Amino acid sequence: MGKPLLLAESRALLGRGAVLHASSAGISGRAWVFLARSRGGKSTLVRMLAGVGASVIADDITLVCRGSDGVSRAMPCASFKPGSPTRPDPCPVAGLLFVEHGPACLLRGLEPVYAVERTLRQGQVMAIAGLLPGERDEVRSALLDLASGTGFGILRFSLGDDPAGLAELLG
């Protein structure tokens, strides 16, 4: 995807959200946003969950934005792949989860400042290098609002885990 489009989307969301290097899945009408570095298991996790009925919201790039109604939602970026069966509707965010490998477990309630700094440090915010310093501050502020509202956590899983069990952890 071209950087100009990512930069335009990032600027459109300033103060209300961010464009994240994340995959996301809908379970029971709520979106789980999965953050990890490249090849960290985001897409694999979403495919596993889709195999047991979760909806794929976005693969690799997820927009997270607070609407005028105060609800934060996850949605695919503007370059949603044309070959995909349907373009999903924005879905209320249940939480943002850092993906780690290990025995299946869900840890909720990461401290908001830590979660936001980890998101930024891991390079999970797309096109941030193209934003002006004040715009970067707006992204950080929006992520802090999101962390305080829906929360960040950690989801550990391995390829041998039962996808239905993972969905149950998130359901």
CATH number of the domain within which 39 lies: 3.40.50
Residue 165 half-sphere exposure toward CB, CA atoms < 13 A = 12
Domain count, the chain: 1
Residue 110 half-sphere exposure toward CB, CA atoms < 13 A = 22
For residues 9-34, average pLDDT: 94
Domain span including residue 84? 3-170
The answer to whether 127 and 3 have CB atoms below 8 angstroms apart is: yes
Q: What is the pTM for the complete model shown? A: 0.91
- By DSSP bridging, strand 62-66 and strand 72-76 are antiparallel
With a CB cutoff of 8 Å and minimum separation 6, the contacts of 127 are: 3, 6, 7, 9, 10, 19
Name the DSSP letter for residue 128: G
The model's pLDDT over 64-107, given as tens digits with 9 standing for 90+, comes to: 999 999 999 999 886 555 555 556 778 999 999 999 999 999 99
